[in-house]
Structure 1
Amino acid sequence: MLVLPRLTTTPPAACAICGEPGPRLLGSRDFGDSCNDAFAGSRTFPHYGIAIPYHRCPVCAFTLTTAFDAWTAGDYREFIYNNDYTRADPPFVIERPLRNAQILAGIWHYEKGVLRVLDYGAGDGAFAAELARLGIDCDSCDLFYGEPPEPRRYQVVTCFEVIEHIPHRDQIAFFDGLVSHVEPGGLLVMSTVLLAPDAPVDDNYIGPRNGHVSIHSDASLRRLAARHDLSLLSLNNQFHVLRRPPAAGEARDAAALRALTETS
Protein backbone atom coordinates (compact mmCIF):
# COMPACT_ATOMS: atom_id res chain seq x y z
CA MET A 1 0.00 0.00 0.00
CA LEU A 2 1.41 3.38 -1.02
CA VAL A 3 1.48 5.96 1.76
CA LEU A 4 2.10 9.55 0.64
CA PRO A 5 3.07 12.58 2.71
CA ARG A 6 0.17 14.79 3.78
CA LEU A 7 -2.04 15.90 0.90
CA THR A 8 -3.93 19.19 0.73
CA THR A 9 -7.53 19.05 -0.49
CA THR A 10 -8.68 22.65 -0.15
CA PRO A 11 -8.44 25.02 -3.12
CA PRO A 12 -6.45 28.26 -2.97
CA ALA A 13 -8.35 31.38 -2.02
CA ALA A 14 -7.70 32.87 -5.44
CA CYS A 15 -6.18 31.98 -8.79
CA ALA A 16 -2.42 32.54 -8.74
CA ILE A 17 -2.48 33.81 -12.34
CA CYS A 18 -5.37 36.28 -12.51
CA GLY A 19 -6.39 36.69 -8.87
CA GLU A 20 -9.98 35.53 -9.38
CA PRO A 21 -11.39 34.25 -6.06
CA GLY A 22 -12.48 30.67 -5.60
CA PRO A 23 -11.15 28.33 -8.30
CA ARG A 24 -13.76 25.63 -8.79
CA LEU A 25 -13.35 21.89 -8.27
CA LEU A 26 -12.91 20.23 -11.66
CA GLY A 27 -12.67 16.68 -10.32
CA SER A 28 -10.04 14.22 -9.11
CA ARG A 29 -7.39 11.94 -10.61
CA ASP A 30 -5.79 8.95 -8.99
CA PHE A 31 -2.17 9.56 -7.94
CA GLY A 32 -1.09 6.72 -10.24
CA ASP A 33 -2.57 8.35 -13.38
CA SER A 34 0.19 9.28 -15.80
CA CYS A 35 0.34 10.99 -19.19
CA ASN A 36 1.87 7.85 -20.63
CA ASP A 37 -1.29 5.82 -20.01
CA ALA A 38 -2.95 7.04 -23.21
CA PHE A 39 0.14 6.32 -25.30
CA ALA A 40 0.71 2.90 -23.76
CA GLY A 41 -2.95 1.91 -24.05
CA SER A 42 -2.96 0.69 -20.45
CA ARG A 43 -2.11 1.87 -16.97
CA THR A 44 1.58 2.54 -16.39
CA PHE A 45 1.24 2.55 -12.59
CA PRO A 46 -1.27 0.84 -10.30
CA HIS A 47 -4.51 2.50 -9.29
CA TYR A 48 -3.61 3.56 -5.75
CA GLY A 49 -7.02 4.79 -4.63
CA ILE A 50 -5.47 8.16 -3.69
CA ALA A 51 -7.56 11.02 -5.07
CA ILE A 52 -5.76 14.16 -6.25
CA PRO A 53 -8.27 17.01 -6.64
CA TYR A 54 -7.80 19.58 -9.44
CA HIS A 55 -9.39 23.02 -9.55
CA ARG A 56 -9.92 25.46 -12.41
CA CYS A 57 -10.14 29.23 -12.46
CA PRO A 58 -13.48 30.33 -14.00
CA VAL A 59 -11.85 33.40 -15.59
CA CYS A 60 -8.48 32.39 -17.07
CA ALA A 61 -9.07 28.60 -17.03
CA PHE A 62 -5.80 27.88 -15.21
CA THR A 63 -6.02 24.29 -13.90
CA LEU A 64 -4.18 23.37 -10.71
CA THR A 65 -3.91 21.06 -7.76
CA THR A 66 -2.98 22.10 -4.25
CA ALA A 67 -2.53 18.44 -3.23
CA PHE A 68 1.26 18.66 -2.88
CA ASP A 69 1.45 22.13 -1.34
CA ALA A 70 2.83 20.73 1.94
CA TRP A 71 5.45 18.55 0.23
CA THR A 72 9.16 19.19 0.46
CA ALA A 73 11.62 18.83 -2.42
CA GLY A 74 12.59 15.51 -0.86
CA ASP A 75 8.97 14.33 -0.99
CA TYR A 76 8.80 15.14 -4.71
CA ARG A 77 12.03 13.25 -5.33
CA GLU A 78 10.85 10.21 -3.41
CA PHE A 79 7.33 9.88 -4.78
CA ILE A 80 7.31 11.57 -8.21
CA TYR A 81 10.78 12.37 -9.58
CA ASN A 82 12.24 9.01 -8.60
CA ASN A 83 13.73 6.17 -10.64
CA ASP A 84 10.28 5.31 -12.01
CA TYR A 85 9.63 8.79 -13.39
CA THR A 86 10.74 7.83 -16.89
CA ARG A 87 7.86 5.35 -17.01
CA ALA A 88 5.46 8.28 -16.65
CA ASP A 89 7.30 10.29 -19.32
CA PRO A 90 9.45 8.02 -21.54
CA PRO A 91 10.58 10.82 -23.98
CA PHE A 92 12.05 12.76 -21.04
CA VAL A 93 15.43 11.03 -21.05
CA ILE A 94 16.66 11.42 -24.61
CA GLU A 95 13.93 11.51 -27.29
CA ARG A 96 12.53 14.96 -26.43
CA PRO A 97 15.90 16.67 -25.78
CA LEU A 98 17.31 15.39 -29.08
CA ARG A 99 14.23 16.36 -31.07
CA ASN A 100 14.03 19.85 -29.58
CA ALA A 101 17.76 20.47 -30.07
CA GLN A 102 17.52 19.49 -33.72
CA ILE A 103 14.55 21.82 -34.24
CA LEU A 104 16.34 24.74 -32.59
CA ALA A 105 19.60 24.13 -34.45
CA GLY A 106 17.68 24.01 -37.71
CA ILE A 107 15.95 27.33 -37.09
CA TRP A 108 19.13 29.11 -36.00
CA HIS A 109 21.39 27.32 -38.46
CA TYR A 110 23.10 30.51 -39.62
CA GLU A 111 23.77 31.68 -36.06
CA LYS A 112 25.94 28.70 -35.16
CA GLY A 113 29.08 29.85 -33.41
CA VAL A 114 27.44 33.15 -32.45
CA LEU A 115 24.17 32.32 -30.69
CA ARG A 116 24.23 31.30 -27.04
CA VAL A 117 21.11 29.69 -25.56
CA LEU A 118 19.91 29.10 -21.99
CA ASP A 119 17.90 25.94 -21.32
CA TYR A 120 15.82 26.67 -18.21
CA GLY A 121 14.74 23.55 -16.34
CA ALA A 122 17.27 21.42 -18.15
CA GLY A 123 17.15 18.15 -16.21
CA ASP A 124 20.44 16.35 -16.75
CA GLY A 125 21.51 18.64 -19.61
CA ALA A 126 20.83 16.31 -22.57
CA PHE A 127 19.33 19.13 -24.64
CA ALA A 128 22.33 21.42 -24.08
CA ALA A 129 24.77 18.63 -24.90
CA GLU A 130 23.01 17.83 -28.18
CA LEU A 131 22.72 21.50 -29.11
CA ALA A 132 26.45 21.94 -28.51
CA ARG A 133 27.13 18.92 -30.70
CA LEU A 134 25.10 20.64 -33.42
CA GLY A 135 27.20 23.80 -33.12
CA ILE A 136 25.24 26.08 -30.75
CA ASP A 137 26.51 26.90 -27.27
CA CYS A 138 23.94 26.32 -24.56
CA ASP A 139 24.01 26.93 -20.82
CA SER A 140 21.78 24.86 -18.55
CA CYS A 141 20.09 25.38 -15.23
CA ASP A 142 17.56 23.45 -13.21
CA LEU A 143 16.49 25.04 -9.94
CA PHE A 144 14.97 21.77 -8.70
CA TYR A 145 18.42 20.22 -8.76
CA GLY A 146 20.14 23.27 -7.26
CA GLU A 147 21.66 24.68 -10.45
CA PRO A 148 20.96 28.44 -10.59
CA PRO A 149 21.40 30.17 -13.95
CA GLU A 150 24.25 32.54 -14.66
CA PRO A 151 23.35 36.21 -14.01
CA ARG A 152 23.14 37.14 -17.68
CA ARG A 153 20.64 37.48 -20.51
CA TYR A 154 20.33 35.45 -23.68
CA GLN A 155 18.96 35.98 -27.15
CA VAL A 156 17.09 32.67 -26.85
CA VAL A 157 15.87 30.97 -23.66
CA THR A 158 14.19 27.57 -23.84
CA CYS A 159 11.84 26.03 -21.31
CA PHE A 160 10.51 22.66 -22.43
CA GLU A 161 7.84 20.83 -20.41
CA VAL A 162 8.66 22.64 -17.18
CA ILE A 163 6.02 25.20 -16.24
CA GLU A 164 3.32 22.55 -15.67
CA HIS A 165 5.52 21.14 -12.88
CA ILE A 166 5.68 24.44 -10.97
CA PRO A 167 3.21 24.69 -8.05
CA HIS A 168 0.43 27.25 -8.53
CA ARG A 169 1.72 29.59 -5.83
CA ASP A 170 5.18 29.75 -7.46
CA GLN A 171 4.01 30.35 -11.03
CA ILE A 172 4.47 34.14 -11.04
CA ALA A 173 7.93 34.04 -9.42
CA PHE A 174 9.03 31.25 -11.73
CA PHE A 175 7.91 33.06 -14.87
CA ASP A 176 9.41 36.36 -13.73
CA GLY A 177 12.74 34.63 -13.13
CA LEU A 178 12.54 32.90 -16.50
CA VAL A 179 11.88 36.11 -18.42
CA SER A 180 14.66 37.95 -16.56
CA HIS A 181 17.16 35.93 -18.60
CA VAL A 182 15.72 36.95 -21.98
CA GLU A 183 17.51 39.97 -23.44
CA PRO A 184 15.45 42.83 -24.93
CA GLY A 185 14.19 41.70 -28.32
CA GLY A 186 15.02 38.10 -27.44
CA LEU A 187 12.86 35.02 -27.55
CA LEU A 188 11.49 32.59 -24.99
CA VAL A 189 10.72 29.22 -26.60
CA MET A 190 8.41 27.10 -24.45
CA SER A 191 6.57 23.82 -24.66
CA THR A 192 3.59 23.02 -22.50
CA VAL A 193 0.18 21.72 -23.54
CA LEU A 194 -2.59 24.31 -23.23
CA LEU A 195 -5.94 22.97 -22.09
CA ALA A 196 -9.22 24.19 -23.50
CA PRO A 197 -11.39 26.01 -20.92
CA ASP A 198 -13.82 23.08 -20.96
CA ALA A 199 -11.23 20.26 -20.93
CA PRO A 200 -12.38 17.48 -18.57
CA VAL A 201 -10.42 16.30 -15.57
CA ASP A 202 -9.57 13.07 -17.37
CA ASP A 203 -7.60 14.95 -20.04
CA ASN A 204 -4.37 13.08 -20.69
CA TYR A 205 -2.18 16.04 -19.69
CA ILE A 206 -3.58 16.11 -16.17
CA GLY A 207 -1.20 13.49 -14.79
CA PRO A 208 -0.42 13.55 -11.06
CA ARG A 209 2.27 10.87 -11.42
CA ASN A 210 4.03 13.12 -13.93
CA GLY A 211 4.03 15.99 -11.46
CA HIS A 212 1.67 18.05 -13.62
CA VAL A 213 0.34 20.35 -10.94
CA SER A 214 -0.29 23.56 -12.95
CA ILE A 215 -1.76 23.32 -16.44
CA HIS A 216 -2.24 26.47 -18.47
CA SER A 217 -4.88 27.57 -20.93
CA ASP A 218 -4.25 30.04 -23.73
CA ALA A 219 -5.76 32.77 -21.56
CA SER A 220 -3.65 32.06 -18.46
CA LEU A 221 -0.40 31.85 -20.46
CA ARG A 222 -1.24 35.15 -22.14
CA ARG A 223 -1.75 36.73 -18.73
CA LEU A 224 1.74 35.65 -17.72
CA ALA A 225 3.15 37.00 -20.98
CA ALA A 226 1.37 40.32 -20.46
CA ARG A 227 3.20 40.86 -17.17
CA HIS A 228 6.32 41.56 -19.23
CA ASP A 229 4.69 42.89 -22.42
CA LEU A 230 5.71 39.72 -24.21
CA SER A 231 4.09 38.93 -27.53
CA LEU A 232 2.91 35.31 -27.70
CA LEU A 233 2.71 33.10 -30.77
CA SER A 234 1.53 29.54 -30.21
CA LEU A 235 2.77 27.41 -33.10
CA ASN A 236 0.35 24.70 -32.01
CA ASN A 237 -1.25 23.61 -28.75
CA GLN A 238 2.14 22.69 -27.27
CA PHE A 239 4.89 24.94 -28.68
CA HIS A 240 4.97 28.66 -27.96
CA VAL A 241 7.30 31.52 -28.87
CA LEU A 242 7.28 34.65 -26.71
CA ARG A 243 9.22 37.76 -27.71
CA ARG A 244 10.46 40.33 -25.25
CA PRO A 245 10.05 43.95 -26.38
CA PRO A 246 13.23 45.54 -27.76
CA ALA A 247 15.16 48.13 -25.79
CA ALA A 248 13.75 51.66 -25.83
CA GLY A 249 16.18 52.87 -28.51
CA GLU A 250 15.47 49.88 -30.74
CA ALA A 251 11.72 50.41 -30.31
CA ARG A 252 12.02 54.06 -31.37
CA ASP A 253 14.06 53.07 -34.42
CA ALA A 254 11.50 50.44 -35.39
CA ALA A 255 8.64 52.93 -34.99
CA ALA A 256 10.47 55.51 -37.12
CA LEU A 257 11.09 52.91 -39.82
CA ARG A 258 7.41 51.92 -39.85
CA ALA A 259 6.36 55.57 -40.09
CA LEU A 260 8.78 56.17 -42.97
CA THR A 261 7.51 53.08 -44.78
CA GLU A 262 3.89 54.05 -44.33
CA THR A 263 4.41 57.58 -45.70
CA SER A 264 6.62 56.67 -48.65
Structure 2
Amino acid sequence: MTAHTAPPALPAPPALPDLSDQAPSHCNACGAVSPQPLGDKDFAYSCNDHFAGTAQFPPADAPVRYHRCGSCQFTFTAALDGWTPQDFQAHIYNADYVRADPVFADVRPTRNSQMVAALWNRALQDTVVLDFGGGDGTFARRLQAMGHRCHTVDPFHGEDTPELLDSYDLITCFEVIEHVPHGDLDGWFTTLLGHLSPQGTVLLSTELLDADMALSNWYIAPRNGHISLHTAASLRALAAHHGLSVFSINHEMHLLRRPRTEGCGYRNRAMGDRLTVLDTLGDPPPSLAP
Protein backbone atom coordinates (compact mmCIF):
# COMPACT_ATOMS: atom_id res chain seq x y z
CA MET A 1 0.00 0.00 0.00
CA THR A 2 1.34 3.48 -0.87
CA ALA A 3 2.19 5.70 2.10
CA HIS A 4 0.19 8.88 2.53
CA THR A 5 1.12 12.18 4.15
CA ALA A 6 -0.70 13.65 7.12
CA PRO A 7 -4.24 14.69 6.15
CA PRO A 8 -5.61 18.18 6.76
CA ALA A 9 -7.28 18.78 10.09
CA LEU A 10 -10.79 17.40 10.45
CA PRO A 11 -13.70 19.07 12.21
CA ALA A 12 -14.71 17.57 15.52
CA PRO A 13 -16.70 14.38 14.85
CA PRO A 14 -20.18 13.89 16.27
CA ALA A 15 -20.45 12.08 19.59
CA LEU A 16 -20.13 8.33 19.31
CA PRO A 17 -22.94 5.99 20.34
CA ASP A 18 -22.30 3.96 23.46
CA LEU A 19 -19.34 1.59 23.32
CA SER A 20 -20.18 -1.40 25.45
CA ASP A 21 -17.51 -2.64 27.86
CA GLN A 22 -19.53 -5.68 28.88
CA ALA A 23 -17.49 -8.88 28.65
CA PRO A 24 -18.88 -11.35 26.07
CA SER A 25 -19.94 -14.69 27.53
CA HIS A 26 -18.57 -16.77 24.66
CA CYS A 27 -16.79 -16.66 21.32
CA ASN A 28 -19.21 -16.54 18.40
CA ALA A 29 -16.62 -18.07 16.08
CA CYS A 30 -16.05 -21.38 17.90
CA GLY A 31 -18.43 -21.28 20.87
CA ALA A 32 -15.77 -21.40 23.60
CA VAL A 33 -16.72 -19.63 26.83
CA SER A 34 -15.16 -16.63 28.54
CA PRO A 35 -12.94 -14.88 25.96
CA GLN A 36 -10.28 -12.86 27.78
CA PRO A 37 -9.76 -9.08 27.54
CA LEU A 38 -6.86 -8.21 25.25
CA GLY A 39 -6.85 -4.46 25.85
CA ASP A 40 -8.26 -1.17 24.59
CA LYS A 41 -7.61 0.66 21.33
CA ASP A 42 -8.76 4.20 20.61
CA PHE A 43 -11.70 4.34 18.20
CA ALA A 44 -9.78 6.76 15.95
CA TYR A 45 -6.99 4.29 15.14
CA SER A 46 -6.99 3.32 11.44
CA CYS A 47 -4.97 0.93 9.32
CA ASN A 48 -3.62 3.85 7.35
CA ASP A 49 -1.99 5.27 10.49
CA HIS A 50 0.53 2.46 10.01
CA PHE A 51 1.11 2.98 6.28
CA ALA A 52 1.11 6.78 6.40
CA GLY A 53 3.31 6.89 9.48
CA THR A 54 0.99 9.35 11.20
CA ALA A 55 -2.49 9.44 12.69
CA GLN A 56 -5.20 10.06 10.10
CA PHE A 57 -7.82 11.16 12.64
CA PRO A 58 -7.63 13.15 15.88
CA PRO A 59 -7.86 11.02 19.03
CA ALA A 60 -11.42 10.06 19.84
CA ASP A 61 -10.68 9.41 23.52
CA ALA A 62 -13.07 6.48 23.15
CA PRO A 63 -11.48 3.16 24.14
CA VAL A 64 -12.67 0.10 22.24
CA ARG A 65 -12.07 -3.08 24.22
CA TYR A 66 -10.95 -6.15 22.30
CA HIS A 67 -11.15 -9.74 23.53
CA ARG A 68 -9.40 -12.91 22.42
CA CYS A 69 -10.79 -16.43 22.50
CA GLY A 70 -8.56 -18.84 24.38
CA SER A 71 -9.56 -21.70 22.07
CA CYS A 72 -9.48 -20.41 18.48
CA GLN A 73 -7.69 -17.07 19.19
CA PHE A 74 -10.41 -15.07 17.43
CA THR A 75 -9.76 -11.40 18.28
CA PHE A 76 -12.84 -9.21 18.39
CA THR A 77 -14.69 -6.42 20.12
CA ALA A 78 -18.28 -6.60 21.27
CA ALA A 79 -18.25 -2.85 21.96
CA LEU A 80 -20.16 -2.07 18.76
CA ASP A 81 -22.65 -4.94 18.97
CA GLY A 82 -25.38 -2.50 19.96
CA TRP A 83 -24.79 -0.13 17.05
CA THR A 84 -27.39 0.26 14.32
CA PRO A 85 -26.54 0.30 10.60
CA GLN A 86 -27.10 4.05 10.77
CA ASP A 87 -24.47 4.32 13.52
CA PHE A 88 -21.91 2.49 11.39
CA GLN A 89 -22.77 4.66 8.40
CA ALA A 90 -22.41 7.87 10.40
CA HIS A 91 -19.22 7.08 12.30
CA ILE A 92 -17.25 4.58 10.20
CA TYR A 93 -18.50 4.19 6.62
CA ASN A 94 -18.85 7.91 6.00
CA ALA A 95 -17.20 10.37 3.62
CA ASP A 96 -13.96 10.24 5.64
CA TYR A 97 -13.60 6.46 5.39
CA VAL A 98 -11.15 6.84 2.52
CA ARG A 99 -8.69 8.32 5.02
CA ALA A 100 -8.70 5.03 6.88
CA ASP A 101 -8.55 2.89 3.72
CA PRO A 102 -7.34 4.85 0.66
CA VAL A 103 -7.44 1.84 -1.70
CA PHE A 104 -11.07 1.00 -0.86
CA ALA A 105 -12.69 3.08 -3.56
CA ASP A 106 -10.82 1.98 -6.69
CA VAL A 107 -7.41 0.33 -6.31
CA ARG A 108 -8.55 -2.76 -4.38
CA PRO A 109 -11.71 -3.54 -6.40
CA THR A 110 -9.83 -3.02 -9.67
CA ARG A 111 -7.01 -5.32 -8.57
CA ASN A 112 -9.48 -7.94 -7.33
CA SER A 113 -11.48 -7.90 -10.56
CA GLN A 114 -8.30 -8.51 -12.56
CA MET A 115 -7.38 -11.40 -10.25
CA VAL A 116 -10.79 -13.09 -10.53
CA ALA A 117 -10.85 -12.67 -14.31
CA ALA A 118 -7.37 -14.21 -14.56
CA LEU A 119 -8.13 -17.11 -12.18
CA TRP A 120 -11.43 -18.19 -13.75
CA ASN A 121 -10.93 -16.82 -17.26
CA ARG A 122 -13.43 -18.41 -19.70
CA ALA A 123 -15.25 -20.13 -16.83
CA LEU A 124 -16.86 -16.77 -16.11
CA GLN A 125 -18.55 -16.63 -19.52
CA ASP A 126 -21.51 -18.74 -18.36
CA THR A 127 -21.49 -17.62 -14.73
CA VAL A 128 -22.90 -14.63 -12.88
CA VAL A 129 -20.68 -13.63 -9.96
CA LEU A 130 -22.11 -12.13 -6.78
CA ASP A 131 -19.86 -9.65 -4.97
CA PHE A 132 -21.13 -9.84 -1.38
CA GLY A 133 -20.40 -6.66 0.56
CA GLY A 134 -19.15 -5.08 -2.64
CA GLY A 135 -19.36 -1.41 -1.65
CA ASP A 136 -20.53 0.90 -4.40
CA GLY A 137 -20.13 -1.77 -7.07
CA THR A 138 -16.72 -0.85 -8.50
CA PHE A 139 -15.58 -4.49 -8.58
CA ALA A 140 -18.73 -5.49 -10.48
CA ARG A 141 -18.31 -2.65 -12.97
CA ARG A 142 -14.70 -3.65 -13.62
CA LEU A 143 -15.71 -7.27 -14.30
CA GLN A 144 -18.57 -6.11 -16.50
CA ALA A 145 -16.14 -3.95 -18.49
CA MET A 146 -14.20 -7.17 -19.22
CA GLY A 147 -17.36 -8.78 -20.58
CA HIS A 148 -18.41 -10.73 -17.47
CA ARG A 149 -21.63 -10.61 -15.48
CA CYS A 150 -21.52 -9.61 -11.83
CA HIS A 151 -24.07 -8.47 -9.26
CA THR A 152 -23.33 -6.57 -6.06
CA VAL A 153 -25.10 -6.52 -2.72
CA ASP A 154 -24.03 -4.32 0.18
CA PRO A 155 -26.09 -3.08 3.15
CA PHE A 156 -24.46 0.35 3.00
CA HIS A 157 -24.77 0.83 -0.78
CA GLY A 158 -28.18 -0.53 -1.66
CA GLU A 159 -29.49 2.13 -4.01
CA ASP A 160 -28.59 0.36 -7.27
CA THR A 161 -28.83 -3.29 -6.19
CA PRO A 162 -30.03 -5.37 -9.17
CA GLU A 163 -32.59 -8.12 -8.89
CA LEU A 164 -30.54 -11.02 -7.56
CA LEU A 165 -30.57 -14.60 -8.80
CA ASP A 166 -31.80 -17.43 -6.61
CA SER A 167 -28.22 -18.64 -6.16
CA TYR A 168 -24.67 -18.18 -7.44
CA ASP A 169 -21.87 -20.63 -8.21
CA LEU A 170 -19.22 -18.04 -7.32
CA ILE A 171 -19.51 -15.43 -4.58
CA THR A 172 -16.68 -13.00 -3.89
CA CYS A 173 -16.35 -11.39 -0.49
CA PHE A 174 -13.34 -9.09 -0.25
CA GLU A 175 -12.34 -7.51 3.06
CA VAL A 176 -15.81 -7.89 4.57
CA ILE A 177 -15.82 -10.52 7.32
CA GLU A 178 -13.54 -8.49 9.59
CA HIS A 179 -16.23 -5.78 9.60
CA VAL A 180 -19.00 -8.06 10.87
CA PRO A 181 -20.01 -7.37 14.49
CA HIS A 182 -19.34 -10.25 16.86
CA GLY A 183 -23.03 -10.58 17.65
CA ASP A 184 -23.94 -10.82 13.95
CA LEU A 185 -21.46 -13.48 12.80
CA ASP A 186 -23.98 -16.31 12.51
CA GLY A 187 -26.61 -14.15 10.85
CA TRP A 188 -24.09 -12.76 8.38
CA PHE A 189 -22.90 -16.23 7.39
CA THR A 190 -26.48 -17.46 7.03
CA THR A 191 -27.29 -14.56 4.72
CA LEU A 192 -24.17 -15.21 2.65
CA LEU A 193 -24.99 -18.90 2.27
CA GLY A 194 -28.54 -18.04 1.27
CA HIS A 195 -27.06 -16.79 -2.01
CA LEU A 196 -24.72 -19.76 -2.59
CA SER A 197 -25.67 -22.67 -4.83
CA PRO A 198 -25.20 -26.19 -3.38
CA GLN A 199 -22.08 -26.66 -5.50
CA GLY A 200 -20.94 -23.04 -5.20
CA THR A 201 -17.72 -21.53 -3.87
CA VAL A 202 -16.97 -18.38 -1.90
CA LEU A 203 -13.74 -16.50 -2.56
CA LEU A 204 -13.20 -14.61 0.68
CA SER A 205 -10.37 -12.30 1.64
CA THR A 206 -9.33 -11.31 5.14
CA GLU A 207 -5.93 -11.06 6.81
CA LEU A 208 -5.47 -13.99 9.20
CA LEU A 209 -3.76 -13.02 12.44
CA ASP A 210 -1.21 -15.13 14.26
CA ALA A 211 -2.57 -16.67 17.44
CA ASP A 212 -0.44 -14.39 19.65
CA MET A 213 -0.76 -11.18 17.60
CA ALA A 214 -0.40 -8.07 19.76
CA LEU A 215 -3.19 -5.52 20.05
CA SER A 216 -0.82 -2.97 18.49
CA ASN A 217 -1.02 -4.77 15.13
CA TRP A 218 -2.07 -2.37 12.36
CA TYR A 219 -4.95 -4.56 11.15
CA ILE A 220 -6.77 -4.25 14.49
CA ALA A 221 -8.28 -0.88 13.61
CA PRO A 222 -11.63 0.35 14.99
CA ARG A 223 -11.86 3.34 12.62
CA ASN A 224 -11.72 0.97 9.66
CA GLY A 225 -14.48 -1.12 11.21
CA HIS A 226 -12.03 -3.98 11.81
CA ILE A 227 -13.84 -5.49 14.75
CA SER A 228 -13.68 -9.26 14.04
CA LEU A 229 -10.15 -10.48 13.29
CA HIS A 230 -9.72 -14.13 12.43
CA THR A 231 -7.01 -16.71 12.82
CA ALA A 232 -6.87 -19.82 10.64
CA ALA A 233 -8.51 -21.77 13.49
CA SER A 234 -11.37 -19.32 14.05
CA LEU A 235 -12.21 -19.02 10.35
CA ARG A 236 -12.28 -22.81 9.99
CA ALA A 237 -14.39 -23.19 13.13
CA LEU A 238 -16.96 -20.62 12.00
CA ALA A 239 -17.09 -22.08 8.50
CA ALA A 240 -17.42 -25.63 9.84
CA HIS A 241 -20.36 -24.56 11.99
CA HIS A 242 -22.10 -23.60 8.74
CA GLY A 243 -21.08 -26.77 6.90
CA LEU A 244 -18.22 -25.29 4.89
CA SER A 245 -14.66 -26.39 4.27
CA VAL A 246 -11.87 -23.81 3.99
CA PHE A 247 -8.86 -23.84 1.69
CA SER A 248 -6.54 -20.90 2.39
CA ILE A 249 -4.48 -19.92 -0.64
CA ASN A 250 -2.40 -17.68 1.62
CA HIS A 251 -2.95 -15.55 4.72
CA GLU A 252 -5.31 -13.26 2.82
CA MET A 253 -7.27 -15.32 0.26
CA HIS A 254 -9.54 -18.23 1.17
CA LEU A 255 -11.92 -20.54 -0.71
CA LEU A 256 -15.01 -21.77 1.15
CA ARG A 257 -17.44 -24.40 -0.06
CA ARG A 258 -19.73 -27.19 1.01
CA PRO A 259 -18.33 -30.72 0.72
CA ARG A 260 -19.22 -32.34 -2.60
CA THR A 261 -22.04 -34.88 -2.55
CA GLU A 262 -23.00 -37.61 -5.00
CA GLY A 263 -24.71 -36.20 -8.05
CA CYS A 264 -24.03 -32.57 -7.11
CA GLY A 265 -22.26 -31.26 -10.19
CA TYR A 266 -21.40 -27.75 -11.31
CA ARG A 267 -23.88 -25.99 -13.54
CA ASN A 268 -20.86 -24.50 -15.31
CA ARG A 269 -18.42 -27.26 -16.34
CA ALA A 270 -15.54 -24.84 -16.83
CA MET A 271 -16.14 -23.38 -13.39
CA GLY A 272 -16.13 -26.87 -11.94
CA ASP A 273 -12.85 -27.69 -13.64
CA ARG A 274 -11.31 -24.64 -12.01
CA LEU A 275 -12.44 -25.77 -8.56
CA THR A 276 -11.61 -29.48 -8.59
CA VAL A 277 -8.78 -28.83 -6.13
CA LEU A 278 -11.47 -28.32 -3.50
CA ASP A 279 -12.73 -31.88 -3.90
CA THR A 280 -9.79 -32.97 -1.75
CA LEU A 281 -10.98 -30.96 1.24
CA GLY A 282 -13.55 -33.45 2.49
CA ASP A 283 -15.95 -32.67 5.29
CA PRO A 284 -15.40 -29.81 7.76
CA PRO A 285 -13.24 -31.09 10.64
CA PRO A 286 -15.59 -32.13 13.50
CA SER A 287 -12.96 -31.10 16.05
CA LEU A 288 -13.30 -27.48 14.93
CA ALA A 289 -17.08 -27.34 14.96
CA PRO A 290 -18.55 -25.53 17.98
Both structures adopt the same fold (TM-score exceeding 0.5): yes
* Distance in structure 1 (CA, Å) of the matches to 2:20 and 2:92: 16
Give the corresponding residue for 1:183: 197
Distance 2:120 2:155 in 1: 26
- 1:252-263 matches, within 5 Å, as none
Matched ranges for 1:92-241 at <5 A = 92-146=104-158, 150=164, 152-241=166-255
> Residues of 1 paired with 2:191 and 2:250: CA distance?
25
After TM superposition, the score normalised by the length of structure 1 is 0.90
The answer to whether structure 1 residue 41 and structure 2 residue 53 are counterparts is yes
Q: Assess if the C-alpha contact under 8 Å between 1:11 and 1:65 holds in 2.
A: no
- In 2, the alpha carbon distance for the partners of 1:65 and 1:22 equals 13
Deviates more, 1:68-77 or 1:121-130: 68-77
Whole-Å Cα distance in 1 between the matches of residues 150 and 137 of structure 2? 9
Q: Which residue of 2 aligns with 1:16?
A: 28
122-131 or 183-192: bigger deviation:
183-192
1:73 counterpart residue number: 85
Does the C-alpha gap of structure 1 residues 148 and 71 become closer, same or farther in structure 2, counting only changes over 3 Å?
Answer: farther
Q: Give the Cα–Cα distance (whole angstroms) in 1 for the partners of residues 49 and 196 of structure 2.
A: 36
Q: Give the superposed CA RMSD.
A: 2.0
Give the counterpart letter for 2:64 in structure 1.
Answer: I
Change (3 A) 1:150 1:247: farther
TM-score scaled to structure 2, two decimals? 0.82
Aligned residue type for 1:100: N
**Would the aligned equivalents of 2:40 and 2:65 in 1 still touch at CA under 8 Å?**
yes
1:261 aligns to what? none
User: Retained in 2: the 8 A contact 1:194–1:218?
Assistant: yes
The answer (yes or no) to whether the contact 1:69–1:167 under 8 Å persists in 2 is: yes
Call closer, same or farther: CA 1:228–1:66 in 2, change over 3 Å. Answer: closer
**Post-superposition offset of 1:169:** 1.0
| Structure 1, 238-247 or 145-154: larger mean CA deviation | 145-154
1:244 partner letter: R
Q: For structure 2, list consecutive stretches of 5 or more residues without a partner in the other structure.
A: 1-11, 266-275, 281-290
The CA distance in 2 between the partners of 1:227 and 1:181, in whole Å, is 17
Match of 2:262?
A: 248
User: In 2, distance between residues paired with 1:149 and 1:29?
Assistant: 40
1:80-112 Cα deviation digits (max 9, x unpaired)? 111100110011000000000000001111224
The equivalent position to 1:88 in structure 2, one of 100, 105, 113, is: 100
Contact 1:183–1:244 (CA under 8 A) maintained in structure 2: no
- Match for residue 63 of structure 2 among 51, 56, 68: 51
Q: What is the count of residue pairs matched by the alignment?
A: 253
Contact preservation (8 Å) 2:89, 2:156:
no
1:157–1:187 contact (8 Å) kept in structure 2: yes
Q: C-alpha distance in 2, partners of 1:68/1:209?
A: 12
Local SS of the residue matching 1:97? helix
SS at match of 1:193: coil
Contact kept, 8 Å, 1:26 with 1:55, in 2: the verdict is yes
**3-state DSSP of counterpart to 1:184:** strand
Cα shift at 1:166: 0.8
User: Please, which runs of 5 or more residues in structure 1 have no aligned partner?
Assistant: 259-264
| SS of alignment partner, residue 164 of structure 2 | coil
Deviation at 1:151, TM superposition (A): 5.0
Q: Matches of 1:46 and 1:32 in 2, distance apart?
A: 7
Q: Which moved more, 1:86-95 or 1:109-118?
A: 109-118
